[in-house]
Amino acid sequence: MKINLPDKLYYSIGEVAKAFDVNTSLIRYWEQEFPIIKPKKNKKGNRYFTPEDIKNLQMIYHLVKEKGYTLDGARIALTTNSKISETVTIIDRLEFIKAELQKLKASLADRDSE
Protein backbone atom coordinates (compact mmCIF):
# COMPACT_ATOMS: atom_id res chain seq x y z
CA MET A 1 0.00 0.00 0.00
CA LYS A 2 1.42 3.34 -1.06
CA ILE A 3 0.96 6.05 1.52
CA ASN A 4 0.52 9.54 0.08
CA LEU A 5 1.81 11.93 2.73
CA PRO A 6 3.98 15.03 2.27
CA ASP A 7 7.36 15.18 3.99
CA LYS A 8 6.66 16.70 7.39
CA LEU A 9 7.86 16.26 10.95
CA TYR A 10 4.39 15.56 12.31
CA TYR A 11 1.07 14.38 10.86
CA SER A 12 -2.36 14.84 12.41
CA ILE A 13 -4.53 11.80 13.05
CA GLY A 14 -6.88 12.96 10.29
CA GLU A 15 -4.05 13.03 7.74
CA VAL A 16 -2.89 9.58 8.81
CA ALA A 17 -6.38 8.08 8.69
CA LYS A 18 -7.00 9.56 5.24
CA ALA A 19 -3.65 8.24 3.95
CA PHE A 20 -4.47 4.71 5.14
CA ASP A 21 -8.14 5.05 4.14
CA VAL A 22 -9.36 4.07 7.61
CA ASN A 23 -11.29 5.80 10.39
CA THR A 24 -9.47 7.83 13.03
CA SER A 25 -10.95 5.51 15.64
CA LEU A 26 -9.00 2.60 14.14
CA ILE A 27 -5.75 4.57 14.40
CA ARG A 28 -6.51 5.35 18.06
CA TYR A 29 -7.37 1.68 18.68
CA TRP A 30 -4.10 0.50 17.11
CA GLU A 31 -2.29 3.04 19.26
CA GLN A 32 -3.73 1.30 22.36
CA GLU A 33 -3.01 -2.20 21.05
CA PHE A 34 0.54 -1.71 19.73
CA PRO A 35 3.13 -0.13 22.02
CA ILE A 36 5.38 0.78 19.06
CA ILE A 37 2.95 3.57 18.07
CA LYS A 38 3.70 6.55 20.27
CA PRO A 39 2.31 9.77 18.82
CA LYS A 40 3.15 13.06 20.47
CA LYS A 41 0.23 14.79 22.16
CA ASN A 42 -0.27 18.48 22.80
CA LYS A 43 -2.02 19.96 25.84
CA LYS A 44 -5.42 19.49 24.19
CA GLY A 45 -4.67 15.81 23.61
CA ASN A 46 -4.35 16.06 19.82
CA ARG A 47 -2.15 13.31 18.42
CA TYR A 48 0.77 14.10 16.11
CA PHE A 49 2.44 11.18 14.39
CA THR A 50 6.09 11.13 13.35
CA PRO A 51 7.41 9.50 10.17
CA GLU A 52 8.57 6.61 12.40
CA ASP A 53 4.99 6.15 13.63
CA ILE A 54 3.84 6.12 10.00
CA LYS A 55 6.30 3.32 9.19
CA ASN A 56 5.05 1.34 12.17
CA LEU A 57 1.44 1.91 11.11
CA GLN A 58 2.34 0.70 7.62
CA MET A 59 3.69 -2.54 9.07
CA ILE A 60 0.58 -2.99 11.20
CA TYR A 61 -1.69 -2.20 8.27
CA HIS A 62 0.19 -4.70 6.09
CA LEU A 63 -0.10 -7.47 8.67
CA VAL A 64 -3.70 -6.87 9.74
CA LYS A 65 -5.44 -5.60 6.61
CA GLU A 66 -3.42 -7.17 3.79
CA LYS A 67 -2.16 -10.40 5.34
CA GLY A 68 -5.18 -11.05 7.58
CA TYR A 69 -3.33 -11.39 10.88
CA THR A 70 -5.21 -11.05 14.12
CA LEU A 71 -4.09 -8.23 16.39
CA ASP A 72 -2.37 -10.73 18.69
CA GLY A 73 -0.68 -12.36 15.70
CA ALA A 74 0.46 -9.00 14.36
CA ARG A 75 1.80 -7.98 17.78
CA ILE A 76 3.78 -11.23 18.01
CA ALA A 77 5.05 -10.90 14.44
CA LEU A 78 6.25 -7.36 15.08
CA THR A 79 8.20 -8.39 18.17
CA THR A 80 9.71 -11.58 16.74
CA ASN A 81 10.25 -10.82 13.04
CA SER A 82 12.71 -8.01 12.36
CA LYS A 83 12.33 -8.31 8.57
CA ILE A 84 8.72 -7.06 8.41
CA SER A 85 9.90 -3.49 7.82
CA GLU A 86 12.05 -4.65 4.88
CA THR A 87 9.17 -6.69 3.49
CA VAL A 88 6.79 -3.73 3.57
CA THR A 89 9.42 -1.52 1.89
CA ILE A 90 10.00 -4.08 -0.85
CA ILE A 91 6.25 -4.49 -1.43
CA ASP A 92 5.88 -0.70 -1.77
CA ARG A 93 8.71 -0.57 -4.30
CA LEU A 94 7.26 -3.44 -6.30
CA GLU A 95 3.81 -1.83 -6.34
CA PHE A 96 5.38 1.40 -7.61
CA ILE A 97 7.26 -0.46 -10.35
CA LYS A 98 4.09 -2.32 -11.33
CA ALA A 99 2.16 0.96 -11.60
CA GLU A 100 4.90 2.49 -13.76
CA LEU A 101 4.97 -0.55 -16.03
CA GLN A 102 1.18 -0.42 -16.40
CA LYS A 103 1.40 3.27 -17.37
CA LEU A 104 4.08 2.41 -19.92
CA LYS A 105 1.98 -0.43 -21.32
CA ALA A 106 -1.06 1.83 -21.61
CA SER A 107 0.92 4.55 -23.39
CA LEU A 108 2.35 1.98 -25.82
CA ALA A 109 -1.14 0.60 -26.48
CA ASP A 110 -2.44 4.15 -27.13
CA ARG A 111 0.44 4.84 -29.51
CA ASP A 112 -0.16 1.59 -31.41
CA SER A 113 -3.86 2.31 -31.81
CA GLU A 114 -3.17 5.66 -33.50
Domain limits for position 21 = 9-79
User: Is 86 inside any structural domain?
Assistant: no
Domain-located, residue 1: no
Give the pLDDT score at 2.
63
User: How would residue 112 be classed by pLDDT, with cut points 50, 70 and 90?
Assistant: confident
Average pLDDT, the chain: 88
Instruction: Tell me how far apart the alpha carbons of residues 78 and 69 are, in angstroms, rounded to a whole number.
Output: 11
CATH of the domain at 22: 1.10.1660.10
> Does residue 60 lie within any of the structural domains?
yes
pLDDT tens-digit map of 60-77: 998 999 889 999 999 888
74 within a domain of the structure (yes/no): yes
Domains in the chain: how many in total?
1
- Indicate if the pLDDT at residue 81 is higher than 80: no
Q: pTM score, two decimals?
A: 0.73
Question: Which of 21-25, 78-82, 107-111 is modeled with the greatest confidence?
Answer: 21-25
